[in-house]
Amino acid sequence: MTISLLEIKELLPPDVKLLAVSKGQNESAIRSLLYNGQCDFGESRLQEALPKINKLSDMKSIKWHFVGRLQSNKVRGVVKTFDVIHSVHSLSLCERISRISGEENRSPQIMLQVKFREDTAKVGLSREELLDIWPKFKSLPNINITGLMTIPPINLDSDDRQQLFLECRNLSDSLGLKDCSMGMSRDWREAVHAGATWIRVGTLLFGNRV
Ligand SMILES: *Cc1c(COP(=O)(O)O)cnc(C)c1O
């Protein structure tokens, strides 16, 4: 089942932005959303993204967001090609992004990935850890930290997901950050309800990944 770009946009409050997660989708699928006015696209693997980014370099309106697990040896490639990184999961990774952004004369927008429940399948800072080292994040040059990103554990029901998303919104607010990147194909409604500013939707828009 999929939803059209226009349908989902109509359902979103004006302050919620849609990131079309195009991993596993080809260039022509991306172009067809571009022609309908979608500019923000998300990828989770640098190797997969680079050929697509190159093929679409004629499309000047496109903005690339990195949403995947970022390995330190991929930071330079990501900093050079992506405008926004949603998945910064540690201080050391953020320090590296900051240093390399300076070297490459870039200033990426950053969201910090937070884990609000135990979840061995995911990386992320805990709430306590983030509150503890927040001044260090804040002092890093060449980057612009605008918010938090979270992915709920797979086994939560709808109410628990909504509760988790509210915790993310509250933590963002308490740090004075505007963005919450939260909600995917299956749970974007709960995320919007809880105050998401970015929802990251893949299969619901594009259909199954190849
Ligand atoms: C793949 C992915 C998405 C999109 O997932 P769908 O279920 O296809 O909507 C969103 N966020 C992240 C971090 C992803 O890796």
pLDDT tier, 131 (very low <50, low <70, confident <90, very high otherwise): very high
Of the residues 1, 184, 204, which should be mutated to test ligand 1's pocket, given the most ligand atoms within 8 Å of the CB? Answer: 184
Query: What is the pLDDT at residue 47?
Result: 98
**Does residue 58 carry a pLDDT above 90?**
yes
Q: How far is the CA of 200 from the centre of ligand 1 (A)?
A: 6
Give the residue, 210 or 41, on which the prediction is more confident.
41
pLDDT tier, 6 (very low <50, low <70, confident <90, very high otherwise): very high
DSSP string, 26-88: -HHHHHHHHHTT--EEEES-HHHHHHHHHHTTT-TT-EEEE-SPPPGGGHHHHHHH-SEEEEE
Over the stretch 150-195, which tens digit does the pLDDT of each residue have?
A: 999 999 999 999 999 999 999 999 999 999 999 999 999 999 999 9
Residue nearest atom 12 in ligand 1 by C-alpha distance: 67
Query: What is the pLDDT at residue 25?
Result: 97
Residue 172: which of 144, 206, 153, 145 has the closest Cα?
Answer: 145
Query: What is the pLDDT at residue 179?
Result: 98
Which single residue is written with the structure tokens 């079309």? 20
Residue nearest atom 13 in ligand 1 by C-alpha distance: 67
Residue nearest atom 10 in ligand 1 by C-alpha distance: 200
Of the residues 44, 65, 187, which should be mutated to test ligand 1's pocket, given the most ligand atoms within 8 Å of the CB? Answer: 44
Q: How far is the CA of 182 from the centre of ligand 1 (A)?
A: 10
- Which protein residues are within 6 Å of ligand 1, measured from CB? 21, 23, 44, 67-68, 151, 184-185, 200-204
Helix crossing, 158-174 with 127-138: angle to 10°? 30
**Does residue 1 carry a pLDDT above 90?**
no
Its pTM stands at 0.97
Q: How far is the CA of 42 from the centre of ligand 1 (A)?
A: 9
Mean pLDDT of the chain: 97
pLDDT tier, 55 (very low <50, low <70, confident <90, very high otherwise): very high
**Does residue 210 carry a pLDDT above 90?**
no
